[in-house]
Amino acid sequence: MASDRGALCVEVLEAVPECKRLSRLLECFSNEFARRPSFVVRCSGRVNIIGEHVDYCGYPVFPMAIEQTILLAVAPSDDNLLHIKNADNNFKPYKCNVLNYLIDVPTVGGPHWYQYVLCGVKGILENSTIQHDSPRGMMILLSGNIPPASGLSSSSAIVSATVLATAYMHNATLNKQTLATISAECEKFIGTQGGGMDQAIAYLAQEGCAQLIEWNPLRATPIQLPENAVFVIANSLSEANKAATSDFNQRVVECRLASRLLAKQMKLNWRDLNRFADLQKALGYSLEQMVSLVHANLGLNVYTRTELITLLEVTEEDFADNLLTPNTRNSQTFKLRQRALHVFQEALRVQQFIETAKSTSEDCISRMKTLMKQSHESLRTINECPHDNLDRIVAISDRLGVGTRLTGAGWGGCVVALCDGVEESKRFVETLKTEFYTSIPKAQGCDIGSVCFTTSPQRGAEIYLIDKHQNIWTSSS
């Protein structure tokens, strides 16, 4: 976070991106709280171009920030309360004491929207390694145009924006990597065992480039995409809230179990090797060798709970308490072979995609399209996180020669499509309008441009400072 809080003065509101939304947010904040906000945090959603369900296994991913954002207007309060409101009246407000609150996630339906805000606050104020001012109440008003449960990281953008806002409010001096790490960790307060991709791109994104995100240590490498590459995001309009079911965490647990079982079979300290990347490093294998290892050692399509307890030589209590997550502790069957094959093969596709993007060959976009298609097929058939609407969009894409894959956790949400040039992207969008969206009840009467659109890489999270005259200053995160 920048130490100079007012480095760049923007004298007119129109000079700030999203000026109309920002202007409405400032007016709404004044109406709600009878005062101006002190600052606004902007945090983008993201689309992952390739590398799905691999970040929590320690492998690189290739996302970019998109134009849709979360805006948080924030001011201090004098009553030790968190006043959390949404500019959309369909989302109910919430209020609690900043010194004493619980994030009690409902067992049915997943977290309430404001609980993602609470995660961000808790992530800063309860982190013992961070120096910050004494906890104080805050007035927070959220405006978001990232479609919820669409695979574009709306929930993680809320968490990341709140982490930055809370750190700034409490004078905690943190760099972008630390902010990303804290944001990833505190999302676990609502039960999501993610790998950190969403939070990393939220802070480390650069305008004009997608980012190769790697781990341990966290680092981002900007990758220039081929000049003619155009990306289209198409929302299937089937919501997929990964925190609302155990489906996502089941995949995480199956990967952890597969890594540990392989480690035990290879006579390694298996309890410390719950990520495939760490196992690969310990073995000194290539990704191709890891694929061969899976074929040779994970012979069953389905492992029962009893079989895994026997193979790992653990007790039922140990298995439930230490090897599962709260929302998977009753799972009775596990597909280790399939999850491992998807992860290692998807990690290979990320490598090949980056190498292809960097090349100057005439067929680079065609090769990138093929890798995206392979990724979707693996997610659909091996990792088993499909949805009929996603597959319908992909079928249309295949007919038009567009490279398309689901993006995000799956089970609904969005696809990301790679087109070769503007004309192909226009043809693809128009075909989806006539052949897909006309048959989707949720699409009737809505602005199709908000659910199917081209996008380009945007920059990471920022703070807009606001003075009494409503002038705006931008401060880098």
Which positions are annotated as active-site residues?
198
| Total Cβ atoms within 10 A of residue 278 | 17
Residue with tokens 């200053």: 473
Q: For 105, what's the count of Cα atoms within 13 Å in the CB-facing half-sphere?
A: 22
Contact 94, 84 (CB under 8 A): yes
Q: How many helices (H) and strands (E) does the chain have?
A: 14, 16
- In whole angstroms, how far apart are CA 118 and each of 1, 124, 337? 21, 10, 37
Q: Counting Cβ atoms within 10 Å, is residue 171 exposed (0-12), middle (13-18) or buried (19+)?
A: exposed
DSSP class of 391: H
End-to-end distance of the chain based on CA atoms, in angstroms?
4
| Total Cβ atoms within 10 A of residue 229 | 20
Contacts (Cβ under 8 Å, ≥6 apart) of 91 = 113, 114
H helices of 270-414, where?
276-283, 287-297, 305-312, 316-322, 336-358, 364-381, 388-400
Q: b vs e for 104-129, b when ≥16 Cβ sit within 10 Å of the residue's Cβ?
A: ebeeeebbbbbbbbbbbbbbbbebee
Q: Cis omega (within 30 of 0) on the bond before 93?
A: no
Hey, what are 59's tokens?
């492998």
CA distance linking residue 85 with residue 140, whole number of Å: 6
Q: How big is the chain, counted in residues?
A: 477
φ and ψ at 121, to 5 degrees?
-65, -50
Hey, what are 282's tokens?
């310990």
Beta-bridge partners for 404? 417
- In whole angstroms, how far apart are CA 249 and each of 26, 36, 159, 325? 38, 41, 19, 7
User: Pick from 102, 64, 95: which is nearest to 206 by CA?
Assistant: 64
Contact 161, 461 (CB under 8 A): yes
CA distance linking residue 148 with residue 248, whole number of Å: 16
- In whole angstroms, how far apart are CA 56 and each of 213, 214, 293? 12, 11, 20
Hey, what are 392's tokens?
């319908």
